[in-house]
């Protein structure tokens, strides 16, 4: 008895607690195993699909109006700004020589007159062509399109 007159119960010994918890765990595992076996039996009861007479699944054709694919893809790009650069040739110069350039100075390039010029779009070589004069303006006639490996 305690000081207030009530009786206190002593907890069961730890070995009894361990046995009770083991019994609950075992019962829980057995219940789970029984449920799994029942699920397997139910799955076995479902008939296997027959492959003797397969039926084709109809798919609708996905088509757009003829001729609109090209227009749509090009219209998307119609207002994109690109940096176009035509390169006549190149040279290497020392800073001293660049500082001495004046109006009328001649700079020798690594190409001969009549050699094709390079056409770059966004710093990527896309074509080669020849320089022409049309209505007193310089222009370039594209003579070769450069694919990825030829750049």
Question: Does residue 62 fall inside a structural domain?
Answer: no
Question: Does residue 37 fall inside a structural domain?
Answer: yes
pLDDT band at 15 (very low <50, low <70, confident <90, very high): low
Question: Does residue 4 fall inside a structural domain?
Answer: no
- State the CATH number of the domain containing residue 135: 2.30.330.10
pLDDT band at 145 (very low <50, low <70, confident <90, very high): very high
Percent of the chain with pLDDT over 70: 67
35-61 pLDDT, tens digit each: 888 877 776 666 666 666 777 777 777
Question: Does residue 132 fall inside a structural domain?
Answer: yes
- Burial classification of residue 116, based on how many CB atoms lie within 10 Å of its CB (0-12 exposed, 13-18 middle, 19 or more buried): middle
Structure tokens at 1: 């008895």
Question: Does residue 146 fall inside a structural domain?
Answer: yes
Question: Does residue 140 fall inside a structural domain?
Answer: yes
Question: Does residue 57 fall inside a structural domain?
Answer: no
Whether residues 32 and 92 share a domain: the answer is no
Q: What is the mean pLDDT of residues 130-145?
A: 90
Q: State which residues form the domain around 108.
A: 82-150
User: Concatenated DSSP letters for 2-51?
Assistant: -TTS---PPPPPHHHHHHHHHHHHHHHHHHHHHHHHHHHHHHHHSPPPP-
Whether residues 87 and 146 share a domain: the answer is yes
Q: What pLDDT is recorded for position 129? A: 93
The kind and range of the H/E element at 117 are strand 117-121
Look at residue 122 and tell me whether its pLDDT is greater than 80. yes
Q: What pLDDT is recorded for position 53? A: 72
Look at residue 102 and tell me whether its pLDDT is greater than 60. yes
Decide: 144 and 128 in contact? Cβ < 8 Å.
yes
Whether residues 35 and 92 share a domain: the answer is no
Q: What pLDDT is recorded for position 35? A: 86
Angle in degrees, CA 117, 118, 123, rounded to 5: 155
Question: Does residue 96 fall inside a structural domain?
Answer: yes
Question: Residue 106: phi, psi to the nearest 5?
Answer: -110, 130
Q: What pLDDT is recorded for position 92? A: 93
Whether residues 87 and 145 share a domain: the answer is yes
Number of folded domains that form the chain: 2
Whether residues 91 and 141 share a domain: the answer is yes
pLDDT band at 96 (very low <50, low <70, confident <90, very high): very high
């Amino acid at each position: 008895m305690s000081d207030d007159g009530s009786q206190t119960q002593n907890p069961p010994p730890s070995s009894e607690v361990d046995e009770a918890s083991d019994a609950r765990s075992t019962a829980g595992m057995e219940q789970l195993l029984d449920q799994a076996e029942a699920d397997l039996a139910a799955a076995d009861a479902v008939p296997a699909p027959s492959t003797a007479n397969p039926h084709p699944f109809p798919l609708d054709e996905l088509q757009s109006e003829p001729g609109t694919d090209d227009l749509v893809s090009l219209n998307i790009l119609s207002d994109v700004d690109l940096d176009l650069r035509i390169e006549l040739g190149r040279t290497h110069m020392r800073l001293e020589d660049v500082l001495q350039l004046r109006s009328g100075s001649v700079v020798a390039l690594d190409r001969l007159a009549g050699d094709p010029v390079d056409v770059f779009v966004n710093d990527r070589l896309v074509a080669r062509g020849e320089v022409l004069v049309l209505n007193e303006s310089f222009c370039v006639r594209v003579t070769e399109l450069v694919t990825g490996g030829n750049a």
